[in-house]
Chain A
């Protein structure tokens, strides 16, 4: 992994949280993103230094609301949560222990907290007779491209019918049984990361990994109230996608291999942490690795504005979206497509067909508009 360290520079790798891991599936065809992610580069900092800061921000109101809702759900040693689980899973759960795994004294390292989680989960898995327990603030671990990322699910519930359930607390509303599909999808992808990390842990400890349920418990405010409601969400598809993407990341070597040895995305921070690397130099470095820009990147990737600008400079049809790009067959640039359409460019054999279609479209457009 020396090579990836060199690409990143002296900074420590940016830890992947579940959200970041889930986002790996957003545009897997993009080599630039794959390399930067695998090397643990802080893409947001790179984008900012390049002059294209990411357009993502979170409102303080949303953060407050999210925290308040989570606190409400966990209130009173998880009493409310237990009530929800009892109803949802139809289990007689008269008693439940509540263990705060963050509570290991002092200011523990992630490693220490993870070991603590590991010990308690092991004990829970061993002792089948143990009463249901809610584990708050567990710290799980997943290996991403050679590095351990620590992950903190909201709650792990054990044991409900002998199985572990990941509980995901989100503050978006479920109104009359429906929630915004994109938000549910994001929650499901994120929860799938925890499911995978927890099953990996069980397997490492010699337990049956399938004791982690692939149905996660999504807890959201119901309707317009603050009252929480729980829904089961089947994350098997998200798990399959995640496994695929993680396997893919181990193959990033093939992309890195042909890159120049001296290539680095180091920001050249000075002692005060201010990036000092000449922007033009960083720009050329980033451009060494090809991007696959699509407008969807605007919702998911820190580098989106940089890559969009690059696509615009190149006159790439990618700029207009996947559908337009697909409609244009193999034509990659706007200039070429337009020249084929107005007949100023004679098509080669490969382009003959799309040229015919574009000429016809051009003729019809001129005829009726």
Chain B
């Protein structure tokens, strides 16, 4: 599936089903064909962009492309956005290509985690690394490296990268593969960037947006299959957040199952968890009320759900076999940092990840529990409505997602004033946050479990 950067929104939506895809291809064959097309395009273009929806095998592609490029004998640089992403890539590259010599550039205060040591040469300067086949670092670190030009670069999480960062490092490579998820959160700034609105090189736009505006003829591929999202989630996430570039689940409805080894007590919490296990989604709905952001009742509900989930000894069955869901495979997501702090303070089982949408980007879990960004709000703001935020929160799970929210969000959306400013020359962003929120809510309403009234 290829399209040209200049005609992005014109692409036709693809039915997002778990069954056989276009031309009856199996998901694996379809995804494989795209990867082959990407690799084939690499020598033909100065840049190649690959859009990867949640869990569509972005890292696998990066690892494969790295092996492919390194096999050509030319040195390769890889640019990631965070230290954790760099470490993850090293682990995966080392496993896939044990013969490749890897180097990791890092800042002075970086301490390598155990999983990385021994797998890559680590240093603060290029000279410290010897002469590895592949050098990996964050974009921030690369910005301090000069005096060398690599024939090839891979830019990972390129939609999360602000274009001013790309400007600082683009001189380091001749050609590049840009990989990322266009549906996640856009980069942002704490200052007002209106003065650059409409410029093709607006520093606040993502690296990919700027790249494609200047090079509209670069090929843009799309990974068509989500290996993470179950068949219950892929169609919704695809329709709500990727309206013009659909994808499908790599597994069928029966291939992912979840159950509990320990019986429940028919509480509302248990019923919500059971609904999620059975259908992939649950909306644990608290009574309609306007609250402060750190709504204590909602925070408690999130914490109890996480605790209860692990108490019930959840077990998943998937193409990877049968596994218990451990705390490390559970994440709790919220919109604001103060909500995250409140949830942490409410007491969660050790090992459960709690974080904001921004920090959950690119991560994967078996089960997620989400505090809905609009829960308890009286008015929706642009922040709350940003589609990327909800997309991240509802697309981290392999099996089930439980959303905690107060009733009344449909009414709030209905009353939302639409007076967004319009800047000339700035491409309209899709999907619209309002529409995406509606789509997700409509689906969640089918899996609603009202909270028990407080006694």
- With A237-B428, A349-B454 already in contact, the answer to whether A28 and B420 are too (CB < 8 A) is no
Q: In the assembled complex, which residues on chain A have CB atoms less than 8 Å from the CB atom of B428?
A: 234, 236-237
Contact in complex: B414, A240 (CB < 8 Å)? no
Q: Is A60 an interface residue (CB 8 A)?
A: no
Minimum CB–CB distance for B231 against chain A, Å: 29
Contact in complex: B432, A237 (CB < 8 Å)? yes
Contact in complex: A28, B417 (CB < 8 Å)? yes
Minimum CB–CB distance for A301 against chain B, Å: 11
A233 and B428 alpha carbons, distance in the complex (Å):
9
From the candidates A218, A296, A329, A349, name the one contacting B419 in the complex (CB within 8 A): A296
A240 and B291 alpha carbons, distance in the complex (Å):
30
Contact in complex: B415, A28 (CB < 8 Å)? yes
Contact in complex: B415, A325 (CB < 8 Å)? no
In this complex, the member of B376, B377, B420, B422 whose beta carbon has the largest number of chain A beta carbons within 10 angstroms is B422
Q: Is A322 an interface residue (CB 8 A)?
A: yes
Q: Is A26 an interface residue (CB 8 A)?
A: yes
Contact in complex: B435, A185 (CB < 8 Å)? no
Binds B, one of A138-146, A148-156, A352-360: A352-360
Contact in complex: B423, A354 (CB < 8 Å)? no
Q: Is A184 an interface residue (CB 8 A)?
A: yes
- Give 1 or 0 for each of B417-438: 1 = CB within 8 Å of chain A CB: 1111111110110101011000
Q: In the assembled complex, which residues on chain A have CB atoms less than 8 Å from the CB atom of B197?
A: 178, 181
Q: In the assembled complex, which residues on chain B have CB atoms less than 8 Å from the CB atom of A289?
A: none
Contact in complex: B417, A25 (CB < 8 Å)? yes
Minimum CB–CB distance for B454 against chain A, Å: 7
Q: Is B378 an interface residue (CB 8 A)?
A: yes
Binds A, one of B70-78, B107-115, B292-300: B292-300
A188 and B428 alpha carbons, distance in the complex (Å):
12
Minimum CB–CB distance for A144 against chain B, Å: 17
A177 and B417 alpha carbons, distance in the complex (Å):
27
Contact in complex: B291, A353 (CB < 8 Å)? yes
Q: In the assembled complex, which residues on chain A have CB atoms less than 8 Å from the CB atom of B427?
A: 234
Q: Is B416 an interface residue (CB 8 A)?
A: yes
In this complex, the member of B199, B290, B296, B424 whose beta carbon has the largest number of chain A beta carbons within 10 angstroms is B424
A299 and B279 alpha carbons, distance in the complex (Å):
47
Contact in complex: B296, A185 (CB < 8 Å)? no
Interface size of B as a range: 35 or more
Contact in complex: B198, A177 (CB < 8 Å)? yes
From the candidates B198, B291, B296, B379, name the one contacting A325 in the complex (CB within 8 A): B379
Q: In the assembled complex, which residues on chain B have CB atoms less than 8 Å from the CB atom of A296?
A: 417, 419
- Give 1 or 0 for each of B269-301: 1 = CB within 8 Å of chain A CB: 000000000000000000001111011100000
Q: In the assembled complex, which residues on chain A have CB atoms less than 8 Å from the CB atom of B194?
A: 181
A218 and B194 alpha carbons, distance in the complex (Å):
20
- With A26-B419, A28-B416 already in contact, the answer to whether A330 and B424 are too (CB < 8 A) is no
Contact in complex: B291, A330 (CB < 8 Å)? yes
Contact in complex: B295, A353 (CB < 8 Å)? yes
Chain B binding surface, main DSSP class: loop
A294 and B194 alpha carbons, distance in the complex (Å):
26
A236 and B194 alpha carbons, distance in the complex (Å):
22
A231 and B423 alpha carbons, distance in the complex (Å):
11
Report the number of A-B residue pairs with Cβ-Cβ less than 8 Å: 96
A182 and B419 alpha carbons, distance in the complex (Å):
8
Q: In the assembled complex, which residues on chain A have CB atoms less than 8 Å from the CB atom of B377?
A: 326
- With A28-B415, A354-B291 already in contact, the answer to whether A233 and B296 are too (CB < 8 A) is no
Q: In the assembled complex, which residues on chain A have CB atoms less than 8 Å from the CB atom of B419?
A: 25-26, 185, 296
Q: Is A248 an interface residue (CB 8 A)?
A: yes
Contact in complex: A248, B418 (CB < 8 Å)? no
A199 and B19 alpha carbons, distance in the complex (Å):
36
Q: In the assembled complex, which residues on chain B have CB atoms less than 8 Å from the CB atom of A245?
A: 418
Q: In the assembled complex, which residues on chain A have CB atoms less than 8 Å from the CB atom of B199?
A: 177
Contact in complex: B422, A233 (CB < 8 Å)? yes
Q: Is A241 an interface residue (CB 8 A)?
A: yes
A241 and B296 alpha carbons, distance in the complex (Å):
34
A54 and B295 alpha carbons, distance in the complex (Å):
39
From the candidates A178, A185, A231, A248, name the one contacting B420 in the complex (CB within 8 A): A185
Q: In the assembled complex, which residues on chain A have CB atoms less than 8 Å from the CB atom of B420?
A: 185, 237
A27 and B194 alpha carbons, distance in the complex (Å):
25
A292 and B417 alpha carbons, distance in the complex (Å):
12
Minimum CB–CB distance for B122 against chain A, Å: 46
Residue of B nearest to A329 (CB): B292
Contact in complex: A174, B417 (CB < 8 Å)? no
A181 and B427 alpha carbons, distance in the complex (Å):
14
- A residues 198-244 with Cβ under 8 Å of B? 218, 231, 233-234, 236-238, 240-241
- B residues 399-455 with Cβ under 8 Å of A? 414-425, 427-428, 430, 432, 434-435, 454
Q: In the assembled complex, which residues on chain A have CB atoms less than 8 Å from the CB atom of B294?
A: 353
Q: Is A350 an interface residue (CB 8 A)?
A: yes
A234 and B427 alpha carbons, distance in the complex (Å):
8
With A234-B428, A330-B378, A350-B289 given, name 6 new contacts (CB 8 A).
Answer: A29-B416, A178-B424, A181-B197, A245-B418, A322-B379, A354-B291
Q: List 7 A-B contacts (CB under 8 A).
A: A178-B423, A184-B421, A234-B428, A238-B418, A240-B432, A241-B418, A353-B295
